[in-house]
Amino acid sequence: MLKNSSEDIIAVLGRFSGVLEPGSYDFAMRVLRAGLGIYRQRLCQCGFVGLGRVLDAGCGFGQWSLALASLNQSVDSIDIASDRLMVLRELALQAGADVRTNYASLTALPYKDASFDGVFCYGALFCTPWRRSLRELARVLKPGGKLYVNANGIGYYIHRWRSRPNKSDAFDPSRTVGLAFTNAWRHAQGLELDPAGQVLIDPDELGAMLSELGFRDILRGGEGTLSVPEWDQPPAPFFPSECHGEVGVYEMLAVR
């Protein structure tokens, strides 16, 4: 069990208040200030427990990495944001957590084939050329290994367009909506993506790609709703699974 309480985490983050950009610092506080309990609960719910080596693919500030490290043997964490990796390294050091960080993209993972017993990818696949990234996630996963991914459906972007969540002088949510649709088209045409935007991923296309890559036991549900049979507590999603009658945020579990 990690030694980090929410107070410990906030104290560590406080050291970076003048280092991180204000938007990044606010995001770090938003995802970490309540501690790791909810993340551990979610991992237990979807069965990412008792594994050997696990990859947190697109780790951000490391809330999932730290939770994974408390439930599994070891964790490797990759991200393309060096400031986020810096924060995670400090949090892991203070927690005594076995987390190894690597500056890398999901499209070119610096690991050998079949390196991991589990690959966990939360909130990152849709920020990349997702088909190429999914092939990489499959490549580094051992036969019988577990995969978790999530993505945003069309309803999520309708919601963002209409409600403009977290809008500020430096951030316009409506721009992310436009880029998500544009990038979905560009990705389908084999063109380079606008790196400033996300990609709308249709859940049927994602499921078909998993099947094409040889995954089995593919499960799909709203974000935070999938669970192993022995889980007997109610789900605790972070995002709605349906928005305006369309798919909101969804997740998939699969076995290699």
Q: How many structural domains is the chain composed of?
A: 1
State how far the Cα of 124 lies from the Cα of 150, in Å rounded to an integer: 8
User: What mean pLDDT comes out for the span 165-191?
Assistant: 89
Q: Which domain holds residue 244?
A: 39-255
Tell whether 106 is covered by a domain.
yes
The answer to whether residue 166 scores a pLDDT higher than 90 is: no
Q: What is residue 191's three-state secondary structure?
A: coil
Cα–Cα distance for residue pair 180/195, rounded to 1 Å: 11
Whether 231 maps to a domain, the answer reads yes
In a domain, 243, yes or no: yes
Q: What pLDDT, in 10s, does the model give residues 77-91?
A: 999 999 999 999 999
Residue 206 burial by Cβ neighbours in a 10 Å radius (0-12, 13-18, 19+): buried
The upper half-sphere exposure of residue 10, i.e. CA atoms within 13 Å in the direction of its Cβ, equals 7
Checking if the pLDDT of 21 tops 80, the result is yes
* CATH number for the domain harbouring residue 178: 3.40.50.150
Q: At which residue do the structure tokens 């909506």 appear? A: 177
- The pLDDT score that the predictor gives to residue 248 is 97
Band (1; pLDDT cuts 50, 70, 90): very low
Average pLDDT of the segment spanning 40-66:
97
What is the pLDDT averaged over residues 26-47?
Answer: 94
Encoding tokens for residue 65? Answer: 């990495």
Does residue 2 have a pLDDT over 60?
Answer: no
In one-letter notation, the amino acid at residue 53 is R
Q: Does some domain include residue 19?
A: no
Tell whether the model's pLDDT for residue 57 goes beyond 80: yes
Residue 3, pLDDT score? 55
The pair of structure tokens assigned to 117 is: 């017993």
